[in-house]
Amino acid sequence: MAEVLVILAPGAEEIEAITIPDVLVRAKQRVVIASTTGAPVVLGSRGLPLAAHCLLDQVLERTFDLIYLPGGLGSATTCRDDVRIQDLAERQLHAGRTLALICAAPIALVPRKLCTGRNVTSNPGMRAQVEPYAKAWINQPVVIDGPLITSQAAGTALALALVLARLVAGEAVATQIAADIIAPT
C-alpha cells in the first residue's frame, strides 16, 4: 500500500483536488490530504469547500511514496511560493519518489528548477512559465518522465488518476477501477 500526500491549498481546482485522491482510495492506497493553511477546510477555485485530514505542518517530516499537487491558479501559486512545499517536492524527486502535478501546478517546479532535463506538460496557459525550465513541454494529457508526472488540466484529472493508480496498485486494479466507474482506459 502506497502512502500518498495530497497538498490542498486555497484556490485548488475542485475536480483536480478530489478526483485523484478518490481514485487512489478506490485503489486501496493510504491517502492523506493536508491543508497548507491553519484550517482543515479551504475554498476551491469555484468557491466550494474542500476538506483536509490534517494540516501540512503535521506531515512535513513524513515520507510519502507519492506527492500530488492539484492545480488551480491560487493553489499553484501557493505551491510555487511556499518553501515547505518546495522542500517536499525537491526531496521527493531527489529520492526518486513520485511527484505528480496537474494544470497550473507545474509552475511549482520552476523556483528550484525541478523540471530541468525533464519532459513536462501543464495547462497550456502555464506553458510559457514552465517550458523554459524543462527539456520539453509536451502537448499530451499526461506526461511521465521518471518520478515526475504532469497533466494538463481539470479535463485530464481522471486520466492522471488512473495513471497514478496503475503506478501504485498495478494494471489490474486500475483497469477494474476504470470499469467500475465506466471510464476509458
Residue positions annotated with a catalytic role: 103
Helix axes 14-26, 157-169, angle to 10 degrees: 30
| Distance separating alpha carbons of residues 133 and 106, to the nearest angstrom | 11
CA dihedral 8, 108, 100, 52 (to 10 degrees): -10
Compute φ and ψ for 28, nearest 5 degrees.
65, 35
For residue 52, give the amino acid letter.
A
| Distance separating alpha carbons of residues 57 and 14, to the nearest angstrom | 22
Which one, of 79, 70, 76, 55, lies nearest residue 14 by Cα?
70
Per DSSP, what are the bridge partners of residue 55? 35
